[in-house]
A and B are shown apart, each in its own frame.
Chain A
Amino acid sequence: MLLALVVAATACGGSSNKASETSGGKLNRDPNTLVVAVDAFNADFDPASAYLLSEALIWRGIYESLVRLKGDSASEVEPLLADSWETNDDKSSWTFHLHPGVTFSDGTPLDAAAVKANYVRTIGLELGTQFILGSFLSEPQKQIVVVDPQTIRFDVGRPVPHFDVVLAAQYGIGLVSPKVFTEHSKGPKDQGHEYLQSHAVGTGPYVMTTLQPGNQVVLEQNPNYWRGWSGKHFKKVIIRSIPEASTRRQLLLAGDVDIAYAGSPEDTAAIRKNPNFFVGDFKNLDMTYIILGAYGPLEKPEARQAMSYLFPYEDFINSVQKGTLERAHGIFPDLLLTADPNTFLYDTDPDKASQLFDQAGVPKGTTFTYEYYTGFGKEAGLVLQQQLQQVGMHLKIVEKSFSAMNADLTTDRPVAQRANMYYWGWWPDYNDPSNYSWVIVNSDAAPDKCPCYNSGYYHNERVDEIINAGFSETDDAKLEASFKDAQDIMSRQDPPVIPVGQQLDETYFRKDVKGQVFNPLYILTWDYYALSRG
């Protein structure tokens, strides 16, 4: 009966939301509302713990920090809650001057004490994001100094050449109303953490009015936003969780959605052809690579070099990925500070690979294992399997869930229980070579030392030395020279990974959504305040 009723009503007056490949111009809904479709979002609004992209894409509209990266730059910083800042001669102390009259959306004033309370809490709670600021401020209570209500100073105690860039990171630096985490604290180990996982009170342009985990989040304009609402802005932002890529694409084509996370390379190619949409195609700092386990048959550098010679880079990028990845220009993403444009790059050369396997004593018929998580890396495994067959070797491909693979990458296990290769990706918290590389190649970041992501147990003393020194190197020329050396070691001599490609932000946008500026570090998130319908 219900069906009959509804179909009859639809037939009589139901509006058409026809969505062909060239549609998308029509908008049958409120033009002042921005609708975003992502694969999933997570509800954690505590900057002390939220460390996932699927969380950042929501609170980028709610939280702000003292400074932020300017436009599409990965290293230039511009004011946000701080109007200006200065550092001492050796760059060991940084002072920030806050913009006057800013309040959190609950009316609490933003002053230096509020900033200090936030960062002391984030570092003290040790819930994950403390790593970013905590690497520089081991005693935050002492090292963060409230000079006056509008001035705050960070006494780092050692030279940190780009501390302002650190404060512009995507994670761990958002400011929450201290009233919220004080009033809802369940003790020193909580400090409002439980409450903040589902509530958000920041200084940002939007406030969260509806949270339906696994379904949608609604953000509405913060009426007292300190930058005001003159000019064009969306009144409301709805972020919907649509796990199926084909559904996201159809909703976008039908005009139900303004921005959608990319689907398969085929989806992207189809959207690109449609004149009513555009695809981001913006290169960011996210590098996709295959971890080479420095144990078992790949223990010797020659064996890892051989594997690097086997991978069919160009064919994979063009035929399989259909141009949604850009070939890596080296071991580092090319936008990373100190990235060397002349780093050695491997060609695809199975004969050379075969020779190197012989040199490394890897016999013909060896079976390697390759692990990837569902939806990310199967194709690369298949092409590598083909290539290995050419040199008389085999590849066993293992698919895991994200969570299971994440555990495999970070848990110390005997060699026999590890895969030889893992398909993975990484981008830095802020534009810094040490921040980027420590966690993925430093000896102290191997799973036997910490639950980090040097999952190939890579160990190279010179590389360790360069990375560790890089955290406090104030001379940019010296930093560049030493990391040039590190990149040469990791590319030519002793490769820890096969750098497959640099990710492109392939997000789909309706053409009438204006104001989007892609930033290579604020990956797959949007400055909602800057967006409007043109």
Chain B
Amino acid sequence: MKRLILRRLLFMVFVVWGVTLITFFLARVAPGDPARFIAGPHANAAALEHVREIYGLDKPVPVQYWRYLGDLVHGDLGTSFLTHRPVVADMRDFLPATLELAIYALLLGSLLGVVVGVVAAMFRGSAIDFAGRLLAIGGLSMPAFWLAMLFQLIFYVHLGWLPFGGRLDTGAAAPPHLTGLYTVDSLLTGHFGTFLDAGRHLVLPVLTLALAEIGLMARITRTSMLEVLGEDYVRTAKAKGLPRRRVLWRHSLRNALMPSVTVLGLELGLLAGGVFLVETIFAWPGLGRYAYDAIRATDYNATLGVTLAIAVVYVVVNLLVDLAYLYLDPRIKYS
């Protein structure tokens, strides 16, 4: 296990390096001039040159890249052209908002998806199965931006049940910073009003993101469960007279979860794509919004920082998925 983790961490270094290499050079060949953006419309050639000098944009691209790598080793992701702050500081502010959204969406999506998939498989061919499949297809087919607007209209505009936009009500103070996750920080510090406020603000964006996750997870779990339920060992377990619940949860579900867990890791990538749109529509101050603004402004450092963060999270989650395999199926050995 230790060797696996070490090997994967080493692999992560190469992934990160590859991401920096591709993103760094792609960003620089893409059209746009950040110096022009920073210096403003009337800047003369000298002012532009000055700005380029400040941000190191006057050096040849390979030199800029070498410097970037040097800084990266020291944990410095450079300064954002847009916020004028270190990208690391920006990430510290923006990442928790996205993580809070993604974690709840992933949890809700996977749990509900697995339950829907299992129930649909158990009642194959029935109205329940049909309803489960309908929910799965519906969740997968509806684009996040459309869902976001639909929820906005129903729950905010017409019913007025839930707030819309931002992580807290306007003017409300954020809880003391511990993790950056408002629901966690407010609970840990005893700010229950803030917890409720943060929770209410989470409902719509989390639901928007989770529906696709529910759909995918339900379909995969249902298929996998149907396959497992037809296996000889399940039939044997039933023939031995084991209780249905035990056959289902202990003998069937554990094996049926393998494909779902694989997808869970890949789902994170899907979620990252959804987060960009959902954060923009919900005015959610997370990494998606940060990246959206950065890309629009040709903010090289911020764009690269976000890409790196997503890559690292992706690799780490997939490592966790691999470790989960070991738990779910002890026969698995990684060579």
The answer to whether B42 touches A9 (Cβ under 8 A) is no
A302 to B93, CA, bound (A): 56
Contacts of B196 in A (CB 8 A): 6, 9
Does residue A432 face the partner (Cβ distance < 8 Å to B)?
no
The answer to whether A128 touches B39 (Cβ under 8 A) is yes
Interface string of A219-239 (1 = CB under 8 A from B): 000000000000000001010
Does residue A400 face the partner (Cβ distance < 8 Å to B)?
yes
A452 to B41, CA, bound (A): 7
* CB-CB contacts below 8 Å: A238-292 with B: 238, 240-244, 246-247, 250-251, 253-254, 256-257
The answer to whether A213 touches B157 (Cβ under 8 A) is no
Does residue A474 face the partner (Cβ distance < 8 Å to B)?
no
* Given the contacts A43-B83, A194-B84, A9 and B200 also touching, CB distance less than 8 Å: yes
* CB-CB contacts below 8 Å: B130-151 with A: 149
The answer to whether B84 touches A44 (Cβ under 8 A) is yes
Does residue A212 face the partner (Cβ distance < 8 Å to B)?
yes
Contacts of A411 in B (CB 8 A): 33
**How many residues belonging to B are interface residues under a CB distance threshold of 8 Å?**
69
Residue of B42, B84, B200, B281 near A6 (CB, 8 A) is: B200
Q: Which residue of A lies closest to B166 (CB)?
A: A240
The answer to whether B283 touches A404 (Cβ under 8 A) is no
Residue of A10, A246, A257, A407 near B31 (CB, 8 A) is: A407
The answer to whether B280 touches A406 (Cβ under 8 A) is no
Which of B60-68, B241-249, B256-264, B290-298 lies at the interface with chain A?
B290-298
Contacts of B121 in A (CB 8 A): none
Residue of A11, A14, A240 near B170 (CB, 8 A) is: A240
The answer to whether B171 touches A407 (Cβ under 8 A) is no
Does residue A80 face the partner (Cβ distance < 8 Å to B)?
no
Does residue A294 face the partner (Cβ distance < 8 Å to B)?
no
Does residue A126 face the partner (Cβ distance < 8 Å to B)?
yes
Residue of A30, A213, A253 near B82 (CB, 8 A) is: A213
User: Is chain B's interface secondary structure helix, strand, loop, or mixed overall?
Assistant: helix
A17 to B31, CA, bound (A): 43
What is the count of residue pairs linking A and B with beta-carbon distances less than 8 angstroms?
A: 213
* Given the contacts A404-B31, A404-B32, A411-B33, A453 and B164 also touching, CB distance less than 8 Å: no
Contacts of B203 in A (CB 8 A): 3, 6-7, 10
Contacts of A241 in B (CB 8 A): 283, 285
Q: Give the Cβ gap from B200 to chain A, nearest Cβ, in Å.
A: 5
The answer to whether B44 touches A18 (Cβ under 8 A) is no
Does residue A215 face the partner (Cβ distance < 8 Å to B)?
yes
Does residue B78 face the partner (Cβ distance < 8 Å to A)?
no
The answer to whether B293 touches A214 (Cβ under 8 A) is yes
Contacts of B200 in A (CB 8 A): 6, 9-10, 14
Interface string of A7-37 (1 = CB under 8 A from B): 1011100111111100000000110010100
Interface string of B141-179 (1 = CB under 8 A from A): 000000001001000111111111110011100000000
Contacts of A439 in B (CB 8 A): 41-42
Does residue A410 face the partner (Cβ distance < 8 Å to B)?
yes
* CB-CB contacts below 8 Å: B35-61 with A: 36-48, 50-51, 53-54
Instruction: List the interface of chain A (C-beta within 8 A of B).
Output: 2-3, 5-7, 9-11, 14-20, 29-30, 33, 35, 40, 42-44, 49-52, 125-132, 171, 189, 193-194, 197-198, 212-216, 236, 238, 240-244, 246-247, 250-251, 253-254, 256-257, 400-404, 406-408, 410-411, 429, 439, 450-453
A406 to B290, CA, bound (A): 21
Contacts of B42 in A (CB 8 A): 51, 128-129, 131-132, 429, 439, 452
Contacts of A256 in B (CB 8 A): 163, 165, 169-170
The answer to whether B44 touches A450 (Cβ under 8 A) is yes
Contacts of A212 in B (CB 8 A): 93, 285
Does residue B94 face the partner (Cβ distance < 8 Å to A)?
yes
Does residue B289 face the partner (Cβ distance < 8 Å to A)?
yes
* Given the contacts A3-B203, A40-B293, A250 and B164 also touching, CB distance less than 8 Å: yes
The answer to whether B152 touches A250 (Cβ under 8 A) is yes
Does residue B183 face the partner (Cβ distance < 8 Å to A)?
yes
Q: Give the Cβ gap from A82 to chain B, nearest Cβ, in Å.
A: 24
Q: Supply 13 A–B pairs (Cβ within 8 Å), ascending by A.
A: A2-B202, A7-B203, A14-B200, A43-B84, A128-B42, A128-B51, A214-B285, A240-B166, A250-B164, A253-B157, A256-B165, A404-B32, A408-B31
Q: Which residue of B lies closest to A126 (CB)?
A: B47
Q: Give the Cβ gap from B268 to chain A, nearest Cβ, in Å.
A: 20
Contacts of B10 in A (CB 8 A): none
The answer to whether B293 touches A240 (Cβ under 8 A) is no
A85 to B186, CA, bound (A): 55
Q: Give the Cβ gap from A13 to chain B, nearest Cβ, in Å.
A: 10
The answer to whether B166 touches A17 (Cβ under 8 A) is no
